[in-house]
Amino acid sequence: MPDLIDVTANGLKFSALAEGPAGGPLALCLHGFPDTAHTWRHLLPELARAGFRAVAPWMRGYAPTGVPGSPSYGVGALVADATALHEALGGDGRAVLVGHDWGAIAAYPAASFAPERWSRVVTMAVPPPAAMGATFFRYEQLKRSFYVFLFHTPLAEAAVAADDFAFIDGLWRDWSPGYDAGADTARVKEALRAPENLAAAIGYYRATLGALPPDPAYADEAAAPTSPPQPTLYLHGERDGCLGVESARGAADALSPGSRAEIVSGVGHFLHLERPDLVDPMIVEWLS
């Protein structure tokens, strides 16, 4: 069973799940929206058995991690968090970075910003921006991405919280059809139930399209390239209801030489939870 730990990094108290030998190379696992550190419950013990010190923090603003004093939720802040967590957790050049959804969005520039800190990268469910191209603006994808635009309105918080966060149940149902997400959504609701935590999670989206101004403190991190120099494994579910599989077709070409992209058949957005027996060995083999 993983330990629940607290670590201060980038001026914020992060809570995290940690498993594996203290002297092992750091494997930092970053979750997305709407999710929590528990999304890595199958992967952490596998990484630990492979010798890694696997750590999965609740991302900034997701309880029990703290809410920053100023609304800094742009990619630059997430890059700074990953870099600071590497430092605070005693990482070295053997460290690896794993990201799903928003965790992937953070992992691409984090690996580029401080390449000496990370040896290998795994990302899932959000391909490198250069791979997506115009696919985001296709009609079918815009329908899937309705929530991105809703989150830029004053109605967002009320819409998500209504009827005991039924909105979150609906996203998981649409994004990973057929997966029983009850245990996962219960943890997400716990992490976002307080108004300040829900506003933080929505703030990631508001920062992306400029509704929240960029924080100048993270200008350098925000400018980091989104194609990491490290060998990167990209995984995308064939039945992903959040980002259609067509958005991932060019992922391998947008990554560094020696990288690989795989479309995983029969799974959706939360592929690592739907088929951990299939996905986790791919990740561990790549990182090892």
Task: Report how far residue 77's alpha carbon sits from residue 71's, in angstroms, rounded to the nearest whole number.
Answer: 10
Strands 96-100 and 53-57: unpaired
* Residues in Cβ contact with 165 at an 8 Å cutoff, skipping those fewer than 6 apart: 185, 188, 189, 192, 193
Task: Report how far residue 224's alpha carbon sits from residue 220's, in angstroms, rounded to the nearest whole number.
Answer: 7
HSE-CB for 80 with a 13 A CA cutoff? 22
161-176: burial string, b at 16+ Cβ within 10 Å, e else: beeebebbbebbbebb
Find out whether 120 and 231 touch, Cβ atoms under 8 Å: yes
What's the pTM?
0.97
Question: Which pLDDT score, from 0 to 100, does residue 133 have?
Answer: 80
Q: What is the pLDDT along the chain (288 residues), one digit of tens a residue?
A: 899 999 999 999 999 999 999 999 999 999 999 999 999 999 999 999 999 999 999 999 999 999 999 999 999 999 999 999 999 999 999 999 999 999 999 999 999 999 999 999 999 999 999 998 878 899 999 999 999 999 999 999 999 999 999 999 999 999 999 999 999 999 999 999 999 999 999 999 999 988 888 899 999 999 999 999 999 999 999 999 999 999 998 899 999 999 999 999 999 999 999 999 999 999 999 999
Task: Report how far residue 117's alpha carbon sits from residue 104's, in angstroms, rounded to the nearest whole number.
Answer: 17
Burial of residue 35 (number of CB atoms within 10 Å: 0-12, 13-18, 19+): buried
Q: What's phi and psi for 186, nearest 5 deg? A: -60, -40
Domains of the chain, earliest start first: 3-287 (3.40.50.1820)
Cβ atoms within 10 Å of 92's Cβ, excluding its own: 11
